[in-house]
Structure 1
Amino acid sequence: MFSTLSQLILQETGYDISNDSTYVELYRLHYPSIFDMTDTDEISILNKEVINYIGGIILQKIKTPSNIHQESEDKKTEESIQIPEKKSIVNIYSIHREKNSLNRFNFNIQLKEINNFRPISITLLKEQNSLFSNDTIFLRFNDTDNIAFKFKSKNTLGNDEYYTYECITDDKIEYKDIVHIEILNYLLMTPCTKRDIFKIKKYKDIKYEKDKYTCLEIKDNNFSMNQEIGLLNKDKEYMKSVFSKHIIDDYILVEKIDLKDIKYILKMNQNISIQILV
C-alpha cells in the first residue's frame, strides 16, 4: 500500500517519498491507527482511509516549507562556506508553565529568549493512562504541529519509572514568546483532562508525636508518605519543595515552614522534561 501512496504523492507534489526514511517511518507509525479509527475489515475501505488520513499528513508535511530541507546541488555549489550556527540544548519543564495551563499534559510556557527550536526528547513519569499503551506518542505545538516521538529508554528512581521518548523528525517549531504544548497518545488524544495542582484550603503549625510540623488541608488528595511536594504562589509559580512526613485523610504534614505566600501544591515527580535544540 505504501508504494501506491508514494505514486499518488509523486503525482500530486512531484516529490518521491518511496525511499525517504522520514516518510517511511511516518507511514509505519500511523498505519496501526487506521484499524482503530475504522470499524471494518474491508480492504478497499481501509486502503481509502490510508490514502485520506496518512496521505493527508504526508502532504501537509511536504507542503510546509519548514519541514523540507532539500536543496539542489547547483544551489549548494553557489553558496559560500558558512560557519555553522552554534546550538545549545535547553530543558522545558512543565512545572514552569503559565497559570492558565490545564495540567502537565496541556500547558503554555514562556520562552522569550528564542523564537524557534527543534524538539529532541521528552521524559515523563510512567502513569496509568493511555499515553503508555503504545511506543509512540505525539507532542502538539501551538495547536498545529503534531510531532512524533518514539520510546527510547526507561529509568527507575525509587518507586517511580520514567520513560524517555526521542523525536523522529527534524521539524523546527516557530513561535513568539509563548508556546502551547500538548502531550498526546498515539491516536492524538489527550491522556488526562484533570487538573494536577491542589489548592491549600487551610494550614497551621501543629505538634504531632512530639515533633513540630506544618499541616496542610488538601481536599481529596492522593499524596503519599515521603513524597516531594512543590509549593506554588498565588500565580501558580514554583517557589520551593518540601517532603510529606505524614498523611492523615485530607491532611498532609510537612516540616515546619512559613507558608505565607504559598497557595497551591503539586507532585514534583510528575514534572515533565522536554529537551529542545535552540
Structure 2
Amino acid sequence: MNDQREEHGLDLRGDCESCFGLCCVALPFSRSSDFAADKDAGTPCTNLRTDFRCGIHTRLRPSGYSGCTVYDCFGAGQKVSQITFGGQDWRRAPDTARQMFAVFPVVRQLHELLWYLTEALTLRPARSLHGQLRALLETTRELTLARPEALAELDVSAHRQQVGALLLAASELVRAEAGREGRKQKDRRGADLVGARLKGADLRGAHLRGAYLIAADLRGADLRLADFIGADLRDANLAGADLTGAFFLTQPQVNAAKGDAATRLPSGLTRPAHWA
C-alpha cells in the first residue's frame, strides 16, 4: 500500500505538525465516554494551544478524550492548511476561518476515499478493475486540489456513491477467494452485531461493510479476507483474532477496538499503544 501511495503522490496520514489544528476546531463533539466536554463545530477545543498543538496529547485517554485517539484525518488537515489555503492559518487570517472549517470535512471524506482506492489497487483478485480504480483515484485526487469555493459546493455524497460502487465490485472479487475454498461467505452488511458473541467465529471472507460491531466479542475469530469498510469496531474485542488479508480496514477502526499481542493485523496497520 505504501508503494501505491508514493506512486500517486498521495499523503494519506495525518501530519499534525503541518496542520492548523483543524480537527480540534472544525469538528463538534459531545460529552460522552469518548469526550470529557461538549464542543460546537468551529469552536476551538479548550486543550488546543496557540501553536495548534494539543495540550494533553500524551494523556488524552486518562483525561477523558479517548475519541481523539481514534481519529485520523487521512492527511486532509495538512492538505487544507498548506495547499487549499496556502499556509494561511485561521488565527492570523480570521476571515478564512469559516470557509476553512467548512472545507476540512469535505477534503477529509475525499482523502478517506483515496485511502480505499489506493488499497483496492493492491488487491490482486481485483486487478481486472485496476484501470477504473486508477481513473477514479485520479479524479478524486484532483477534487482535493480544487479551490475552497468549489470544495464547499461539492456533492461529496454523490462522489462517495460512485466510489463505493466500484469498491464493492472489488470486494466481491476478493471475497470470492474465500468462497473458492468451500467456505460460505457471510453477508453482514449493516448488521446489528452490537455485543455479539462471535468468539472463535469463522468469518473469513465476510462482508462486514457498515456492520455495527460495537463491543462485539471477536476473540480468536478468523477474519481473513473480510471487508471492513465502514464497520464500527468501537470496543470490539479482537484479542487473538486473525485479520490477515482483511481489507478496507483503517487505523482509526483498529484504534477504536481492543486487542492484544496475539491479534494479527493486515500489513500497513500498527498495533495501538493502548492494547494489552
TM band (smaller chain): under 0.3
Higher strand share: 1
Higher Rg: 1
TM-score by length of 1: 0.24
TM-score by length of 2: 0.25
Which of structures 1 and 2 has the larger relative contact order (alpha carbons within 8 angstroms, sep 6+)? 1
Higher helix share: 2
